[in-house]
Amino acid sequence: MDECLEGFRLTHLTYFNIMNSAIWQGREDSSREFSNARIDYVKPAADELGLKLVTVDSNLDGIYRGFNYLATFTFRFFGTILALQKLFGKYYWSSGHTFSQFKLTIDDIAYFDLLSVQCLSNENTTFYSVGSEITRIEKTEYISDFAITYKFLNVCWSYLYNCGKCDKCRRTMLGLYALGKLNYYREVFDVGYFYQNKDEYLGHMLFMWITEKDHGYYSEIRRYLRQRYIKIPARAKMCAIKLLYNVTKKKIKRTMESLT
């Protein structure tokens, strides 16, 4: 927003209803009700920032039915922007991974955003992958310096407001806790619940750190906790062991069933 280069200053924000989560798929276009409510929720943030909010409602999901969303979402968003290319000369696409994690894979196409933004830009609209130079928790640290996020930060895939219990909410809360910034977000997260169940949250972090392969989100959080000399209680470690035991037990059961 403070960019001094002509034509690069942020002017619009976007919200696109182009993906129908399995959570809402009880009926055709069931995401519409959720999206309309989410738009009403984010509009005050755009107003406070003095930016125009552009919203798109589409049945594009019907074309991609049966496809993994992680294998298609970048193209869904870019295609929607190109339908509005008379408005957008430049579009900033928030990166999912760092430059160092670049790879070609259909499991999560965010890994090759650096290539996608070049392939899909045209003479009217240029896409930019932003934030690839830093890690996810460094992004969290960056936005935590802006007071507007204390009122409007919303990361939950499942519900209109942050549920605090899904993996994305837990990861964000743990990241903010590791940064010493969680208390600023009492308007958007149930911070009291987090502290009452801190061992469970930290146990989830340890479990995900042990089992995660590529993302490294929880590795970053654990590293920041260690840098701040925050010790992991024994009860949290026991929670992680219990989660690992349950996963192992399910794997053994599936293996035994396949042999019968």
Quote the CA–CA distance of 117 and 58 in Å, as a whole number.
22
Q: Would you state the pLDDT for residue 215?
A: 60
- 239 and 198 Cβ atoms separated by less than 8 Å: no
> What angle, 0 to 180 degrees and rounded to 10, lies between the N-to-C axes of helices 198-211 and 167-179?
110
Sketch the domain layout of the chain as residue ranges: 1-133, 163-260
CA 75, chain centre distance (Å): 17
| Whole-number Cα distances in Å, 237 to 16, 126, 170, 202 | 40, 47, 17, 8
Task: Say if residue 16's pLDDT is above 60.
Answer: yes
Residue 213: count of CB within 10 angstroms of its CB: 5
pLDDT in tens, 156-197: 977 889 999 999 999 999 999 999 999 999 999 999 999 999
Report the percentage of the chain scoring pLDDT > 90.
68
pTM confidence score: 0.89
pLDDT band at 253 (very low <50, low <70, confident <90, very high): confident
What's the average model confidence in pLDDT over 110-131? Answer: 95
Identify the residue whose tokens are 């806790």. 177
Q: Would you state the pLDDT for residue 20?
A: 62
What's the average model confidence in pLDDT over 232-238? Answer: 96
Rg (CA), the chain: 20
Task: Say if residue 59's pLDDT is above 90.
Answer: no
> What angle, 0 to 180 degrees and rounded to 10, lies between the N-to-C axes of helices 217-227 and 167-179?
20
pLDDT in tens, 24-38: 555 555 678 888 899
Task: Say if residue 239's pLDDT is above 70.
Answer: yes
What's the mean per-residue pLDDT of the chain? 90
pLDDT in tens, 61-99: 777 777 888 888 899 999 999 999 999 999 999 998 899
pLDDT band at 211 (very low <50, low <70, confident <90, very high): confident
Q: Would you state the pLDDT for residue 227?
A: 93
Report the percentage of the chain scoring pLDDT > 70.
95
pLDDT in tens, 213-223: 666 789 999 99
Q: Would you state the pLDDT for residue 28?
A: 56
